[in-house]
Amino acid sequence: MATPKALQQPASLRLASASFLAFWCLIAAFPIFWIAVMSFKSPVDAFSANPLNVVFGPTTRADGKGLSIIDIVIGLVVLIAAVRLAFTQLPKWVGRLSPPGMAIIGWLVGAAAYAIAFLIVFFGILPVFLGGLNAVTGPLGAPVLGLTTEHYYAVWIENGFWRNFQNSLIVTAGVVTISLTVGTLAGYGLARSGSNLAFWILIIALIFRALPHSVLVAGYLPVFINSAEILRPILGENAPTLYGQPLAVIAVLVAINQPFTIWMLRSFFQNIPNELDEAARVDGCTHFQAFRWVIMPVMWPGVITTGLFSFLLAYNDLLVTSLLLDAQNQTMVPAIAGYFNRETTTTDQVEAVAAAVSITAPLFLLVMIFQRQIVSGLTAGAVKG
Amino acid sequence: MKFRTLAWFVGPSVFMMLLFIAFPLASVFLQSFQITQPIVETVEVETCTPGFLGQTCVTETKTTPVLDENGNPTTTTEWVGLLSYARVLQLEQVGAAIASGTWSSILAIDFWKALRFTLTFTLVTLPLVIGLGLAIALAVNNAARSIRGQIIFVSLLPFIITPVIGALSIRWLFYGDGIVTAMLEGMFSTDISVAANGWAIEMLMMFYRVWHVAPFAFVIFYAGLQTVNQDTLESAIIDGASRFERLRFVVVPHLMPLIIFIALIHLMDAYRAFEEVIGFSSQAHRITLQWLTYDLLEPDDAGNRAISRASASAMLTMIGIVILLIPLLRRTWRDHKGSAH
């Protein structure tokens, strides 16, 4: 459809709009891109005042750590091939191999297997192969771009960041599963009931959504620290101290997340026509059976979207996890806050940068895969608001 | 749906919210009127050291905590009324400052300092977020269809990133000899130290918040722009409305409910700003209300947590949120009443 002439914009306006957009994209992406670059350089380069030094890393290169032209070309080819494969072949494999009805588990296993295979090829096999190639190709094999992965090695292996990663995994997986289970039930009930009670539950949930989390944590802390004594009369000698328990944090984050979850799921459920339930009820289903066998199968997009936002909340949380977990059980985000508080040498600082990039990488992948769901989730909340 | 069925569906969720939100809220409310502290007794201790021609003995009084049979310090909880609130608000010092006309000394008190910053922060970032979000949405709506997906992807990054990490990534560009600071220093040939200047940090924190929230506003406005009535736009053109007038009188009124929605969400979220203080390590210069509570809850050097003062500061923070929310609640109530008739 051609634009009517009256609606066509003058070139100056189009230019201004395009350059504004380019400027915004630069501002949006630059800080993230920059920490990613910094994390691969030796401290002198990473904190150099000259941006060119940060990008090309002369000191890192002088230490003999760098990429040659061959490394860059072959690395890029492998990377692009891997991404293409993930988008074209992976869905087919998952579809063929996973048993019917288990598509979600199939996807999780498939994605994990693919990620592991990629890591082995990219960081295990490729460097050995390229090392041999660089040695025989002369000038093309000489390093041109300083790059080192030593900080990642220090963070993940030497400082035991994988333990924080494991804790983050436990907490986020727990929060997403429980809050979706509890939230879909409540969201469905609230969407299908027009009673005053349902309205008041939603309003109170909205007020709870606005509460600063520190208010709630001030309520938990004394109870959690002394929980062994409080619970002893009920549970006997095995009464646990809830402070420092990932399970307690999961429960807390699920509850904090509940108001948002039920509002969002309710708006998704309202988009599903009521006639669907009624038909199922006429055929003799109870409310619960109608929910389980008729509504849930068409609700997956909404559930996935809400799950993404639960994931973000649990993954990004700093306040609750840093106050309710002790040092052994810390998740990644409070752990990094500890990192840069104790930073003394520039090496520590670059390790903090590497840890920050490690935390961001999964989120980056998430936006890449689920961009459409994130956008639909944001707008669903607003339109029904 | 019958009440019983509804109860089965919403039961687990309501139970969790009662146990982990309503109950802590009530207990914080009670705690803010109580003080729990270990019982201490003063004992006279005589310590003697062998010296020349006899012992040198010193008698001193020490305060030691009373221990129960298990060796734990016993604690007592007493009702102290509004004492914790008074300790947080420090009204006497405020009164003295007003009487002597030295307004700036009020801002030396933590609570008032935090309140001042939190309110400025919230109110200054609000129009910036809405303006920037709207501008990006209009620009993306103007861009070629083929590149919109990539632009939305890039725009979502600041929104999705962990808040502390986002703040850190901007901090590393500015603090010390960060490249942006170095560039500014080169341009103006002066020496800039961002980390030592309260106002510079305040600007950076606001910049970070706008950077972080504008994508959210953008996505919502962008969705709203897809549903603008084209007929109204065309009749506006026929009526001779200029481009700006069309934006002002057709597009913005259409987006108004969304603007209000974003304003409310932003008010709630910016008022409880916390990660900025951690990410920019600004506690020496700028603190927020939520950070104040957090700081009181953290164990101090002796391992004590100031629970009662934290509760009082938490309740005061909450009063602010309630004031912010009243307009929204009234509107929702009117809508509910309207839909019932």
Residue A223 lies in a domain: yes
Question: Which positions in chain B touch A380 (Cβ < 8 Å)?
Answer: none
Q: Do B153 and A51 touch (CB under 8 A)?
A: no
Question: Could you give the angle at the alpha carbon of B264 between the alpha carbons of B263 and B267, nearest 5°?
Answer: 85
In chain A, the residue whose alpha carbon lies closest to the alpha carbon of B132 is A24
Determine the distance in angstroms separating the CA of B31 from the nearest CA of chain A, rounded to an integer.
8
Identify whether residues A193 and A316 lie together within a single domain.
yes
Portion 279-308 of B in contact with A at CB < 8 A: 281, 289-290, 293-294, 297-298, 305, 307
pLDDT at B1: 65
Question: A296-300, A309-313, A337-341, B197-201: which has the minimum mean pLDDT?
Answer: A337-341
Residue B321 lies in a domain: yes
Tokens 């303006």 label which residue?
Answer: B131
Question: Which positions in chain B touch A333 (Cβ < 8 Å)?
Answer: 162, 164-165
Identify whether residues A189 and A46 lie together within a single domain.
no
Domain count, chain A: 2
Residue B242 lies in a domain: yes
Residue A344 lies in a domain: yes
CB B140 within 8 A of CB A18: no
Q: Give the residue from A106, A130, A154 where a domain finishes.
A: A154
Report d(CA B9, CA A339) in Å as an integer: 44
pLDDT interval class at A67 (50, 70, 90): confident
Report d(CA B276, CA A4) in Å as an integer: 48
Please give the span between the terminal C-alpha atoms of chain B, in angstroms, as a whole number. Answer: 20
Tokens 């939520």 label which residue?
Answer: B290
Identify whether residues A342 and A255 lie together within a single domain.
yes
Q: Give the residue from A102, A133, A154 where a domain finishes.
A: A154
Give the DSSP H or E segment for A67. strand A66-68
In chain B, the residue whose alpha carbon lies closest to the alpha carbon of A367 is B153
Please give the residue range of the domain that contains residue A127: 32-154
Q: Do B12 and A186 touch (CB under 8 A)?
A: yes
Residue B102 lies in a domain: no
Q: At what angle do helices A126-136 and A69-97 cross, to 10 degrees?
A: 150
Give the DSSP H or E segment for B299. none
Q: Do A35 and B179 touch (CB under 8 A)?
A: no
Please give the residue range of the domain that contains residue B188: 115-328
pLDDT score of A49 more than 70: yes
| pLDDT > 90 in chain A, percent | 0
CATH number assigned to the domain comprising residue B314: 1.10.3720.10
Q: Do A382 and B297 touch (CB under 8 A)?
A: no
Which tens digit of pLDDT belongs to each residue from A147-177? 777 778 877 877 777 888 888 888 888 999 9
Identify whether residues A309 and A342 lie together within a single domain.
yes
Identify whether residues A130 and A165 lie together within a single domain.
no
Report d(CA A277, CA A189) in Å as an integer: 12
Q: Give the residue from A121, A154, A187 where a domain finishes.
A: A154
Mean pLDDT value of segment B329-339 = 69
Which tens digit of pLDDT belongs to each residue from B281-326? 777 788 888 888 888 877 776 666 777 788 888 888 888 888 877 8
ipTM of this complex:
0.82
Q: Do A186 and B177 touch (CB under 8 A)?
A: no
Higher per-residue confidence, B334 vs A176: A176
Which tens digit of pLDDT belongs to each residue from B236-284? 888 887 888 888 888 888 888 888 888 888 888 888 888 888 888 777 7
Say which amino acid occupies B309: R
Tokens representing B275?
């990660």
pLDDT at A121: 81
Residue A9 lies in a domain: no
**Exposed/middle/buried for residue A28 (C-beta within 10 Å: 0-12, 13-18, 19+):** buried
In chain A, the residue whose alpha carbon lies closest to the alpha carbon of B21 is A216
Question: A30-39, B320-329, B331-340: which has the minimum mean pLDDT?
Answer: B331-340
CB A206 within 8 A of CB A263: yes
Report d(CA A51, CA B172) in Å as an integer: 13
Interface test with A, best of B15, B169, B175 (most A CBs within 10 A): B169
Q: Do A216 and B161 touch (CB under 8 A)?
A: no
Residue A17 lies in a domain: no
pLDDT interval class at B341 (50, 70, 90): very low
Residue B67 lies in a domain: no
Q: Do B272 and A213 touch (CB under 8 A)?
A: yes
Identify whether residues A376 and A229 lie together within a single domain.
yes
Nearest to B270 by CA among B118, B112, B117, B168: B118
pLDDT score of A341 more than 70: no
Half-sphere exposure of A127 (CA within 13 A, CB side): 11
Tokens 């940090």 label which residue?
Answer: B201
pLDDT at A5: 61
Identify whether residues A222 and A312 lie together within a single domain.
yes
Give the DSSP H or E segment for A145. strand A143-146
Report d(CA A97, CA A99) in Å as an integer: 6
Domain count, chain B: 1
CATH number assigned to the domain comprising residue A317: 1.10.3720.10
Which tens digit of pLDDT belongs to each residue from B160-188? 888 888 888 888 888 777 778 778 777 88
B216 touches chain A (CB under 8 A): yes
Mean pLDDT value of segment A202-220 = 81
Total beta-carbon pairs less than 8 A apart between chain A and chain B: 287
| pLDDT > 90 in chain B, percent | 5
In chain A, the residue whose alpha carbon lies closest to the alpha carbon of B269 is A210
Tokens representing B321?
């949120």
In chain A, the residue whose alpha carbon lies closest to the alpha carbon of B329 is A203
**Exposed/middle/buried for residue A140 (C-beta within 10 Å: 0-12, 13-18, 19+):** middle
Task: Indicate the average pLDDT of chain A.
Answer: 79
Question: Which positions in chain B touch A24 (Cβ < 8 Å)?
Answer: 132, 136, 139, 155
Residue A1 lies in a domain: no
pLDDT score of A383 more than 50: no
Residue B97 lies in a domain: no
B165 touches chain A (CB under 8 A): yes
Please state the length of chain B: 341
Radius of gyration of chain B (CA): 28
Higher per-residue confidence, A381 vs B286: B286
Question: Which positions in chain A touch B280 (Cβ < 8 Å)?
Answer: none
Identify whether residues A367 and A264 lie together within a single domain.
yes
Identify whether residues A317 and A238 lie together within a single domain.
yes
- CB within 8 Å of B169: residues ≥ 6 apart: A31, A32, A34, A35, A356, B161
CB A303 within 8 A of CB A295: no
Identify whether residues A186 and A134 lie together within a single domain.
no
pLDDT at A384: 43
Residue A261 lies in a domain: yes
Higher per-residue confidence, A103 vs B212: B212
Residue A187 lies in a domain: yes
Identify whether residues A164 and A125 lie together within a single domain.
no
Task: Indicate the average pLDDT of chain B.
Answer: 80
B58 beta partners: B47
Question: Which positions in chain A touch B10 (Cβ < 8 Å)?
Answer: 185-186, 189-190, 198, 201
Identify whether residues A302 and A168 lie together within a single domain.
yes
Residue B338 lies in a domain: no
